[in-house]
Chain A
Amino acid sequence: MLELEARTEPSRLMSWASPLLAVALMLAGGMLVFSALGKDPVEGFRIFFLNPVKDLYGVSELLLKATPLMLCAIGLAIGFRANVWNIGAEGQFMLGAVAATGVALHFDGADSAFVLPAMVLAGALGGAAWAAIPALLRTRFNANEILVSLMLVYVAQLFVSWLVFGPWKDPDGFNFPQTRMFGEAALMPMVLEGTRLHAGFVIALGVLVAGYAFMNRSFAGFRMRVAGEAPEAARYAGFSAARMIWVGLLLGGAAAGVAGMGEVAGPMGQLTDKVGSGYGFAAIIVAFVGRLNAFGILLASLLMALLYIGGEQAQQYLNLPSSISMVFQGMLLFFLLGSDVFINYRLRLRRRAV
């Protein structure tokens, strides 16, 4: 019978092959889902995975969707590597969007080149401030950061809806829960003419590079990796656990906050109660599928963005709810977690003892 046998050391090959295996399994699973729903699987595959990227505009939309995902994911990865489980990026994303909106509304009508940088900064600070709550409660009171950061997502969502239904509601907006549209100075410049792809994408790439440098080339990043992979060694070396929690959460919060800023100053152009659209949660999948490193996250965010857009296409052409994206995304993560077993174990055929 088949048995799992522990490898003497983790397989490097498998740690790269496992995400590919997971993607292949997800595609196979997806075909089954389409068949089960009575759709032609080949047609479904074409609409879901190929249609979105058939022209330049499609590709630009893909990069646009990937922008918040890679920003949130690289920030989360820094914490995850040190076993700091910030799963409230969704809330930090919203608070970043709120802080940036605050700046935009305050300087409404101003025609200054400093408005956008101020908004980016406000976004980062807003996200970091929201992440500082679980960091403080974890380091001071030992409160589990998973649960605290997650609870704060719900609080953030209610806070945003209070703002857009109340004090920040557009007076000329026919009572819709949204702020005024931002002025020209508070909107991200476009990087591709005729598309919605904005400067946030460039910022995200920069943050990816910075994240890579931090994790792989700095001593602080090294300490965090040691803390995650060998907590005993980190303790013995005297690395401060509290500092790692702070760094992990603040960087994660700041990156998510900038992503939130990019949404309100980019495709949305205003703050609405729909600003949190699940990017913060999807970024958890991106971080894992991307193996918690910058290059992997780049690829994984493109893949996840494709799943989002594929879902929209499926809604339009196959008459399926767009939440089918989430089904695919969830499958992807499950298959990845499952195939990861082969990093530390291998299959072996063994005869049953008589």
Chain B
Amino acid sequence: MDAGLFTSMLFSTVVAGTPLIIVALGLLVSEKAGVLNLGAEGMMAMGAVAAFAVTHHSGNPWLGVAAGMGAGAAMALLFGVLTLTLMANQVASGLALAIFGVGLSAFIGKPYEAIALQAVPPIRIPFIADIPLIGEALYNQQALVYFSWALFWGLLWFLYRSRAGLVLRAVGESPASAHAIGYPVIRIRYLAVIFGGAMAGIGGAFLSVFYTPMWAEGLVAGRGWIALALVVFATWRPLRVLVGAYLFGGVMITQLFIQGSGLQIDFPSQLLSSLPYWATIVVLVAISRNANAIRLNSPVSLGKPYRPDA
């Protein structure tokens, strides 16, 4: 493989992995607090369409990202009201959120189809971007790529080095004990869920404003679900989320490069495009067959409603 191809594949892999990292880390936080939100796909779709619309009207992609974040958070708040206040089933509510978000985004986004946004230029970090092979791929990137790394480091610190992170994990492991020592379980869960939604919204914004940059129904294409699978794959550990996201990014990019390379391989493009989805399944199987690893690492109260007795 020549150096230019390596650099451009690495560059694209990082770009493809970035929304997955942001979304999966957000989901990780809400799952650490014990809340399983299957609505990631819907929150991403709403984030994507809100970000696109605001960027299109204001011309400012950062306002767009803020709008995406707000839209994702609002969707998550809706989920929170249902599952945390009204104690609805988390699985059913998450599915509802996914279906609703995809539908509503298609409805809102109709007038914006077939509009392209101006590409946002990458930010080049002086000196380290000059490193051969990897410099151009890693350090001449979109701002949100750097954001995903900052989010990763920030979460590592928050979850494992800060008092607040400890409380969050306690709420996910044993809400009753956390309540008994005086922590507001429901409020903490609300915050965690909203954070997850905000990140899903940013992930969606990345797709519609920076990655493609356009809006189409079905733009998210299952990335919300893949992010959910990533959290399981990572056994709820941030570093593995990062690695997993880039692995998936790599799979997506490899099939695109094969399709684009003009290599005369006798394999239909549609079947190649299904590769990331098969990869998700294979990875899920590989990690889930060790039932103990899942049981030991998943937050104990994940998916179970909790209602403090006043």
Q: Identify the A interface with B (CB < 8 A).
A: 3, 85, 87, 133, 137, 140-144, 146-148, 150-152, 154-155, 158-159, 161-162, 165-166, 281-282, 284-285, 288, 321, 323-327, 329-331, 333-334, 337-338, 340-341, 344-345
Number of B positions contacting A (CB below 8 A): 46
Task: Using A147-B228, A326-B99, A327-B100 as known contacts, say yes or no to A155 and B92 having CB atoms under 8 A apart.
Answer: no
Q: B106 to nearest A CB, angstroms?
A: 4
Contact of A146 among B38, B82, B110, B271 (CB under 8 A): B38
Q: Is B86's CB within 8 Å of the partner chain A?
A: yes
Apart from A159-B270, A326-B99, A345-B87, 20 more pairs, CB < 8 Å? A141-B289, A143-B284, A144-B232, A144-B288, A147-B280, A147-B281, A151-B229, A158-B270, A281-B99, A285-B99, A321-B110, A323-B103, A323-B106, A323-B110, A330-B99, A330-B100, A330-B103, A330-B104, A333-B100, A337-B96
Bound state CA distance, A176 and B81, in angstroms?
Answer: 46
Q: Is B274's CB within 8 Å of the partner chain A?
A: yes
In the complex, chain A residues whose CB is within 8 Å of the CB of B104: 326-327, 330
Bound state CA distance, A155 and B7, in angstroms?
Answer: 30
Contact of A142 among B103, B225, B274, B289 (CB under 8 A): B289
In the complex, chain B residues whose CB is within 8 Å of the CB of A344: 87
The number of inter-chain residue pairs (CB within 8 angstroms) is 133
Q: A340 to nearest B CB, angstroms?
A: 6
Bound state CA distance, A133 and B225, in angstroms?
Answer: 18
B285, A137: Cβ atoms closer than 8 Å: yes
Type the 1/0 row for B75-89, where 1 means its CB is closer than 8 Å to any CB of A: 000100110001111
Bound state CA distance, A141 and B104, in angstroms?
Answer: 36
In the complex, chain A residues whose CB is within 8 Å of the CB of B226: 151
B106, A326: Cβ atoms closer than 8 Å: yes
Q: B118 to nearest A CB, angstroms?
A: 25
Type the 1/0 row for B238-264, where 1 means its CB is closer than 8 Å to any CB of A: 000000000000000000000000000
In the complex, chain B residues whose CB is within 8 Å of the CB of A85: 91
In the complex, chain A residues whose CB is within 8 Å of the CB of B265: none
In the complex, chain A residues whose CB is within 8 Å of the CB of B277: 151-152, 154-155
Bound state CA distance, A110 and B258, in angstroms?
Answer: 42
Task: Using A158-B270, A162-B271 as known contacts, say yes or no to A147 and B284 having CB atoms under 8 A apart.
Answer: yes
Bound state CA distance, A324 and B81, in angstroms?
Answer: 23
Q: Is B157's CB within 8 Å of the partner chain A?
A: no
Q: A131 to nearest B CB, angstroms?
A: 14
Bound state CA distance, A225 and B95, in angstroms?
Answer: 21
Task: Using A147-B280, A327-B104, A329-B99 as known contacts, say yes or no to A162 and B82 having CB atoms under 8 A apart.
Answer: no
B268, A162: Cβ atoms closer than 8 Å: yes
Task: Using A146-B38, A159-B274, A165-B270 as known contacts, say yes or no to A327 and B86 having CB atoms under 8 A apart.
Answer: no
Task: Using A159-B274, A337-B96 as known contacts, say yes or no to A324 and B107 having CB atoms under 8 A apart.
Answer: yes
Contact of A154 among B38, B221, B228, B285 (CB under 8 A): B221
A137, B281: Cβ atoms closer than 8 Å: yes
Bound state CA distance, A133 and B280, in angstroms?
Answer: 14
Q: Is B93's CB within 8 Å of the partner chain A?
A: yes
In the complex, chain B residues whose CB is within 8 Å of the CB of A323: 103, 106-107, 110, 217
Q: A245 to nearest B CB, angstroms?
A: 14
B228, A334: Cβ atoms closer than 8 Å: no
B281, A327: Cβ atoms closer than 8 Å: no
Task: Using A158-B273, A158-B274, A285-B99 as known contacts, say yes or no to A141 and B82 having CB atoms under 8 A apart.
Answer: no
Interface members, chain B 46-85 (any A CB < 8 Å): 78, 81-82
B91, A146: Cβ atoms closer than 8 Å: yes
Closest to A136 in B: B285
B103, A150: Cβ atoms closer than 8 Å: no
Interface members, chain B 75-131 (any A CB < 8 Å): 78, 81-82, 86-89, 91-93, 95-96, 99-104, 106-107, 110
In the complex, chain A residues whose CB is within 8 Å of the CB of B271: 158-159, 162
B86, A341: Cβ atoms closer than 8 Å: yes
In the complex, chain A residues whose CB is within 8 Å of the CB of B217: 323
In the complex, chain B residues whose CB is within 8 Å of the CB of A158: 270-271, 273-274
Give the residue among A133, A321, A329 with the most B Cβ atoms within 10 A: A321
Closest to A342 in B: B86
Bound state CA distance, A85 and B256, in angstroms?
Answer: 32
Q: A269 to nearest B CB, angstroms?
A: 23
